[in-house]
Amino acid sequence: MPKKKKLQIIFTKKFLSDMYKNMWEYMNTDMMQHIFEQMNKILKITKKKRIEDDNFKDVKFANSICFKGSRKEGHYVYVDNEGKAYGTYENNLLKRLEDDGVCHGAALIFALNESGSEGRFPLVISPDKKDDDYKKNYISILSLYKWLIEQGYWDKALKDNFYEVLIWDKEDKTTLETKKSLQLLNKYIKRLKES
């Protein structure tokens, strides 16, 4: 009997490309703010021009999601009240750098945890992670996106920010892009859980 091939805990190029086209290219600070407003939570957004700038000592960054860099090469982090940044790179959450297209998901999880939703999307942030720890992180981040869709937060934010550029299904009050994203997320989460 042939050996079962061990699952690599990474995102495939196709998955990254499809998720970007259908969901992640629409994730920005306006969408994040809109999502938090729907949950009756306050989200502070800050920005930095240089992606390499990791100095968050200024009090204006406290308890915020900070977007660093440009739209093409930006990175999201959550900054706590002591000026410490949390994110995909900062906490070594992912198995490889190429998977960092989900930095907004990780920043949202840290922000949600700070606002009282702790434990819903657990992340392993210890420095000595094993494969199972990485797998939990990938599942948690993808589960956040799935949850945003299933709660209706995503489509409501899309409607207010990107209504004209998406294909809306009037009967389901959602977009074809959202439907595709949910399919992709369900499939990938299942794949990771079964490995």
Question: To 10 degrees, what angle do helices 153-162 and 29-38 make?
Answer: 130
Residue owning tokens 């079964």: 194
Query: What is the domain extent for residue 24?
Result: 13-194
Q: For the segment 92-137, what is each residue's pLDDT rounded down to a tens digit?
A: 999 998 898 999 999 999 999 988 776 789 999 988 899 999 999 9
Is 8 a member of any domain? no
Q: With 70 as the cut, is the pLDDT of residue 70 above it?
A: yes
Q: With 90 as the cut, is the pLDDT of residue 82 above it?
A: yes
The Cα diameter of the chain in Å comes to 61
Q: With 80 as the cut, is the pLDDT of residue 2 above it?
A: no
Q: With 80 as the cut, is the pLDDT of residue 6 above it?
A: no
Per-position DSSP letters for 97-150, written without gaps between them:
GGGGGGHHHHHHHHHHIIIIITTSS-----SS--HHHHHHHHHHHHHHHHHHHH
Is 189 a member of any domain? yes
Q: Which helix (H) or strand (E) holds 159?
A: helix 153-162
Q: Is residue 45 within 8 Å of residue 67, measured between CB atoms? A: yes
- Residue 65 pLDDT grade (very low, low, confident, very high; cuts 50, 70, 90): very high
Is 34 a member of any domain? yes
Predicted local confidence at residue 118, as pLDDT: 66
Average pLDDT, the chain: 92
Is 6 a member of any domain? no
Residue owning tokens 């994730």: 27
Is 1 a member of any domain? no
> What percent of the chain lies above the pLDDT cut of 90?
82
Is 2 a member of any domain? no
Q: Is residue 30 within 8 Å of residue 63, measured between CB atoms? A: no
Is 65 a member of any domain? yes
Is 108 a member of any domain? yes
Q: For the segment 17-50, what is each residue's pLDDT rounded down to a tens digit?
A: 999 999 999 999 999 999 999 999 999 999 999 9
Q: Is residue 77 within 8 Å of residue 68, measured between CB atoms? A: yes
Distances (CA, A) of 73 to 19, 24, 47, 48, 195: 17, 14, 13, 12, 32
In angstroms, the CA 19 to CA 154 distance is 14
Number of domains in the chain: 1
